[in-house]
Structure 1
Amino acid sequence: MIERMKAKEEIQSAPRYVLEELQVWAEQRIFNLTGVQRPISFQEVPSGIKGDYGIQLSSFTKGSQWNLKGLAEAISEGLKQAKNPFIREVHTAGPYFNFELDMPTFGVEVIRQVFEMGPKYGEESVGNNTVVVIDMSSPNIAKRMSYGHLRSTIIGDALTRIYRATGYEVLRDNHIGDWGTQFGNLIVAIKRWGNEKELLSSKDPIGVLQDLYVRFHSEMEKEKTSKREELKEIVEKEGIEAVPNLQKAIEGVSQEIMARKKISQEQLDMSKVVEDALDRVVTSRLEEEGREWFKKLEKGDPEARRFWKICVDLSMKEFERIYRILGVEFEYTLGESFYEGMLVDTIQEVRQSGKATVSDGALVVDMTDKKLGVAIVQKSDGASVYMTRDLATAKYREKELSAGEVIYVVGEDQKFYFQQLFVILRRLGHPVGERSKHVYFGMVTLPEGRMSTRKGRVILLKDVIAEGLKRVRKILKTKNPDVYSSRKLREIITRQIAIGALKWNDLAYDPKRSIIFDWDKALNLEGYSAPFVQYATVRANSILRTAGVKIGDLKIDTSTADSNIYCKPAERSIIKKLAAYPKIILEALNTNNPSQIATYAYELAKLFNSFYTIVPVLSAKNEEIRVSRVMLVAATSQTISNALNLLGIEVPERM
């Protein structure tokens, strides 16, 4: 172990990885040499400049008596005398101070750590077993899962793996939409246009339910459009005051738009505001029936409960089938209905807190001071809303699940809503309001616009999966007939490639970025894709099989390192990339962005492909170099596999 001299400020946790060791060593030595305490971060030196890692010196001169030139000279001389087995030379380059690695020694230590930790290489313990609840997937009952649901499911699963790899205890909660006014609407649709026996015997019961749901909204829109036109005529002839509640609706819509868009009242498009306000005050006969049936459901009406249970059971069966294909699991699938018995206490707490008021019979929380408008907690008819149920859910997670943090993986269009939720929780005195995050993602769109269940224009997730499997089977049949001839192996590999491609399409880019769905892009098997990275790993494993070694059995002797190993640029690049992996995981954690892992895996795969093309491995000129390169191949395979595992992507045995 490299000697580490103690600085005045205690280091909170000992580093585990060689790059961390080197960074701490440099930080402490610089402090001892200059008296300046600064956290440092290694930056990889660009090609053409001497050195492997650099430190920017300008930060050390701020607030100290040192000038840049004097500081560089002091550090250069001091570090040369200090000696570190991983450092060959020290260079100054303008405002930077560069280390040139002793690559044989450094490389052997990096590979030793990869072998020693195996599947756990890269993991950290910064989480200290803090409980994190991840609210993810959350499809709605009686609706087919769309491609859009893949984003929350896959991003949530990747975050789960990243948080667990950094020392957190993660509880995944599939907060399914199994409660709310929409179930009253669905009951109306079933009773009006459905057939219970046909529903239960259908091969696609969710499809039947969704068709009924779409029909309900289509018929309701017809009624509301007619009513809206009538009210518009009244407004034009008699003014806004002639339509009950319209003025209040206009005020509410205005506040929400100003808060969301951060604009003044003068910048509002009042014609659009009035249109939106009319939508709020216009009701239809069907809508009223739906509300009545949901009130019955809340009160425990046997017929309403029976219809509701049919919808839930049929939906969950299909959801679970898709989750099995995706390889995604949950610790909890509680759903909104689980919190039904807690809603009365939640509403009572809000009412008695002094933070809410009654407006037109509804219980509301005014957050206009935060530019967040007014949030309804209970409707004027006594019915609960999403906010009621989410408040109860947050309180339960805080108290019963001991959540130190709650992460909501939900679309970008819900940003405003979650800001409201967190503010209300804080005002009620619940610490979970401070410890909650909304990790949002962009929408999935079609050429003609955003997906919409109500209008029936949606790409079904099961169809995406089926198409992916079909395409991969065709590719395997053409490119690898041997794999295709074994049905069992073919189906395993087909699933691994197809599901890997789908997951990559969601995880390889910043989650905030919206996606225009495209079959070819989603299932691209070349370039910046999962199959490209998978194939690099399969190729590495093939080399290891030919060499007659298994990754788990490999050991490396760090006591001596031949000066001829790991000297080629392609080898050096891979070793530095392997050493950087733990830092990448922490960056992905701190930004809640799995795409950093995907980018890393792709870059490492590219480096390996380049290495494999220009550097002989099994045919190396002597045994020492051959063994060192086999070790490098094994460490690369292990690290890429670890990175893909954090994304929930498997590595096929063959491709």
Structure 2
Amino acid sequence: MEKHIFALQLSHLLGETFTREWIYEQIETPKQASLGDLAFPCFQLAKTFRKSPSDIAAELAPKIKHDVFSDAKSNGGYLNVFLNQSFVTDHTLKQVLTDPSLYGHHDFGDGKTIVLDMSAPNIAKPFSMGHLRSTVIGNAIANLAKKCGYETIKINYIGDYGTQFGKLLAAYNKWGDEQKIKANPLKQLTKIYVKFHEAASENPSLVEEGRDWFKKLEQQDPEALQLWKWFKEVSLEEFNKIYELLGISFDLTRGEAYYNNKMEPTFDLLKEKGLLEESEGAQVVRLDQENLPPCLIRKSNGTTIYATRDLTAAIDRFQSYQFDEALYVVGHEQTLHFQQVKRVLEKMGFSWAKNVKHIPFGMMLKDGKKMSTRQGKTILLEEVLKEAVQKASINIEEKSPSLKDKSEVAKQVGVGAVIFHDLKHDRRNDVEFSLDDMLTFEGNTAPYLQYAYVRASSLLTKGNFDHEVTSTELGDSLTWPLVKLIREYPYVVKESYANYDPSKIAKYLLDLAKAFNKYYAESKILESDNLNAKLTLVYAFTIVLKDGLALLGIETPEKM
């Protein structure tokens, strides 16, 4: 609110040359709190007004007047304003307490629908740490979208088709053991898949066998189809165990194969628009004008490729949901693919293609290298989650042996640690897998945040706080840093969604918890004469912290 008011007042004072939007973007937060709460740099005004930035700031300072500001000062070319702490504290806490579930909520998404393509593991392969990123980033973005008023459709677009499944079928035909696979499906299927690639490096003819098996699958060969359905069923059973542990659900789970018999209309439209061309026996859409390589639509042997299915899926999704945005939360190595798909959709005449967006993210690395199933270099997410929960359970047993629901709390803490370790990083960056860092229960971790929530909840219990009887009359300067951070929450939510970046929420929550812990350490809350007002602030903190963690998909135990 105060940033908008500051920008509005400056736009009136500076005239039409500088728009309110431009002014708003220039406003920043001083590095030192003693300098003020907001700052406007006047350097870019010097040429227009033919005065020094310092003189401009000095002339503007006395003209800044509003209940939300207590003072305005010139400082080295900056116009710094101080907020009225009493006014802002009262306004902020009343905003939080009026309807805690709506604090931080925005309505700019009302009436709009967003479809998210996320997670998308491949069948017949264990759920690796590599697929964690798409899953938790996509889920957090969906939660942020809901917080901003959008209706969200989360789609788990399972990788159940393509040449790799031809290789798997060929591998099973050579080395498959039905009983072993029934006993441990994904481990055994991965084992023969890796063996196929090892053997193919010595005997290239195996690659052709894999292609032949995929062609059989496309032609609905009974044997190939039966094996493929079996592999898919056992895979989904295993995946659902992971999703349940993560607390993540989908509105639609659908594989690539769903579109096998739905691609002809796509081919027909491509032909009708004159977009298909033959290239070395294959059919492509040229994208020379877009400075992109041709998009392969059908291979020379007649088989389709995932671009064909993605085009068909995108058309189907728009017909089903009339989406305002379609977000593909997929690793950055697929950037070219999505550029091609989007351009082909635009060439096909779909105006909504402009709202198809690839949300890329970095890789999960092990020792600086990409994890690879075909090389047998993967870290299984299920094993990591189990170890995280086990470590949390050991810590709880040592520190709180009488705690009720210890197993549930251990799950909340362990799983939360894994999710937060991923989401605290900017999604565009690679993340180095480190079990030790992930399971550290101190520092910049989910357990640190969860413990701050538990500590605050304990204060409320000990102080007999009644959330129906609150006070916002806080005169203690120690409260101000915490109040300011609570006030920032709606802005951080908006920025996090605008950038599709959950790490902004994660970093904000760490700052929020640190501010609370500092306040807790320096202010004798339970011994205060102003107990109700201080507990009201603590209560507001718990509301924001719990809501922020929920946006990331992390639960908050009441006790630890």
Seen in structure 2, the aligned counterparts of structure 1 residues 617 and 408 have a Cα distance that, compared at 3 Å, is same
Is the CA contact 2:470–2:532 (under 8 Å) kept in the aligned structure 1? no
Could you tell me which amino acid in structure 2 is paired with residue 654 of structure 1? K
Aligned partners of 1:512 and 1:574: how far apart in 2?
30
Q: Greater shift after overlay, 535-544 or 100-109?
A: 100-109
Residue aligning to 1:216:
196
Between the aligned partners of 1:299 and 1:613, the Cα distance in structure 2 is 69
Measured at CA, do residues 468 and 114 of structure 1 come closer, stay the same or move farther in structure 2, by a change above 3 Å?
same
Q: Check 1:34–1:182 CA distance in 2 against 1; reply closer, same or farther (3 A cut).
A: closer
The match for 1:646 is: 551
Aligned to 1:151: 133
Matches within 5 A, 1:390-469: 390-447=310-367, 449-469=369-389
Count of aligned pairs: 555
Secondary structure of 1:437's match?
strand
Q: Which amino acid aligns with 1:536?
A: A
**Do the aligned residues in 1 keep the contact of 2:58 with 2:73 (CA within 8 Å)?**
no
Asked if residue 97 in structure 1 is aligned to residue 82 in structure 2, the reply is: no
SS at match of 1:171: strand
1:575 corresponds to: 483
1:278 match = none
Q: How far 1:188 sits from its partner (Å)?
A: 2.3
Query: 1:46, 1:189 → 2: CA distance?
Result: 61
Q: 1:596 aligns with which of 494, 504, 507?
A: 504
Q: What are the Cα deviations for residues 418-460 of structure 1, in whole angstroms up to 9, with x where unaligned?
A: 2222222222222343212221111122227321111212111
CA displacement at 1:50 relative to structure 2: 4.1
Cα distance in 2, alignment partners of residues 528 and 216 from structure 1: 42
- Which whole-Å CA distance do the structure 2 matches of 1:414 and 1:205 have between them? 28
Query: Partner amino acid for 1:614?
Result: E
Question: For structure 1, which runs of at least 5 residues remain unmatched after alignment?
Answer: 1-19, 225-283
> Structure 1 residues 542-551 or 323-332, which shifts more?
542-551
Q: 1:376 matched to which residue of 2?
A: 296
- Deviates further, 607-616 or 49-58: 49-58
SS at match of 1:127: coil
Larger RCO, structure (CA 8 Å, separation 6 or more): 1
Deviates more, 1:401-410 or 1:47-56: 47-56
Tell me the alpha carbon deviations over residues 318-341 of structure 1, each in whole angstroms, 9 at most, x when there is no partner: 111110000011111111011112
- Distance (whole Å) between structure 2 residues aligned to residue 62 and residue 498 of structure 1: 57
Residue 541 of structure 1, aligned match among 454, 457, 470: 457
TM-fit CA distance, 1:58: 4.2
Distance in 1, Cα, partners of 2:36 & 2:376: 59
Amino acid at match of 1:56: P
Counterpart check, 1:614 vs 2:530: no
Q: 1:490 aligns with which of 383, 395, 406?
A: 406
Q: Is the 8 A contact 1:541 1:637 kept in 2?
A: yes
In 1, Cα distance between the equivalents of 2:440 and 2:178? 42
Tell me the distance in 2 between the aligned counterparts of 1:167 and 1:448.
Answer: 39
- Work out which of the residue numbers 527, 532, 543 in structure 2 matches 1:627: 532
Residue 530 of structure 1 corresponds to which residue in structure 2?
446
Question: Which letter maps to 1:420?
Answer: Q
Residues 386, 90 of structure 1: alpha-carbon distance in 2 compared, 3 angstrom cutoff = same
Q: Does 1:299 align with 2:281?
A: no
Equivalents in 2 of 1:554, 1:209: separation in Å?
Answer: 60
TM-score normalised per structure 2: 0.94
Give the match for residue 270 of structure 1: none
* Pairwise CA distance, 1:585: 1.2
CA contact (8 A) 2:42 2:54 kept: no
Distance 1:583 1:59, change over 3 A: farther
CA contact (8 A) 1:152 1:409 kept: yes
Distance 2:455 2:98 in 1: 23
The letter for the 2-side match of 1:219 is A
Amino acid in the other structure paired with 1:522: M
Structure 2 SS opposite 1:98 = strand
Deviations 1:149-171 (A, max 9, x none): 10110110111111111122111
Moved more, 42-51 or 455-464: 42-51
2:379 is paired with a residue whose SS is: coil
Q: Is the 8 A contact 2:425 2:431 kept in 1?
A: no
Greater Rg by CA: 1
- CA distance in 1 between partners of 2:158 and 2:73 (Å): 58
Q: Structure 1 residues 171 and 360 mapped into 2: Cα distance closer, same or farther (>3 Å)?
A: same
Question: What is the deviation of 1:90?
Answer: 2.3
Deviations 1:277-318 (A, max 9, x none): xxxxxxx2x333332232222222222221111111111011
1:552-591: CA deviations, max 9, x gaps? x35446xxx4xxx3432x3111111111111111111121
> What secondary structure sits across from 1:92 in the alignment?
strand
Contact 1:509 1:595 in 2 (8 A): yes
What amino acid sits opposite 2:420 in the alignment?
W
Counterparts of 1:427 and 1:61 in 2: how far apart (Å)?
Answer: 48
**Residues 459-493 of structure 1: CA deviation (Å, up to 9, x unaligned):** 1111111111121111112222222xx4xx11111
State which drifts further: 341-350 or 468-477.
341-350
- Secondary structure in 2 aligned to 1:441? coil
1:79 & 1:457 partners in 2: Cα distance?
61
**3-state DSSP of counterpart to 2:99:** helix
Task: Please state how far the C-alpha of 1:371 moved relative to its aligned partner.
Answer: 3.5
Label 1:34 to 1:217 Cα distance change in 2 as closer, same or farther (>3 A). Answer: closer
Matched, 1:163 2:160: no
User: 404, 416, 432: which is aligned to 1:500?
Assistant: 416
Report if aligned partners of 2:180, 2:188 keep a CA contact under 8 Å in 1: no
The answer to whether the 8 A contact 2:57-2:75 is kept is: no
**Which residues of 2 match residues 120-139 of structure 1 at below 5 A?**
120-139=102-121
Percent identity between matched residues is 33
Secondary structure of residue in 2 paired with 1:455: coil
Structure 2 Cα separation of the partners of residues 137 and 48 of structure 1: 42
Instruction: State the TM-score, normalizing by the size of structure 1.
Output: 0.81
Measured in 1, the distance between the counterparts of 2:60 and 2:328 equals: 47
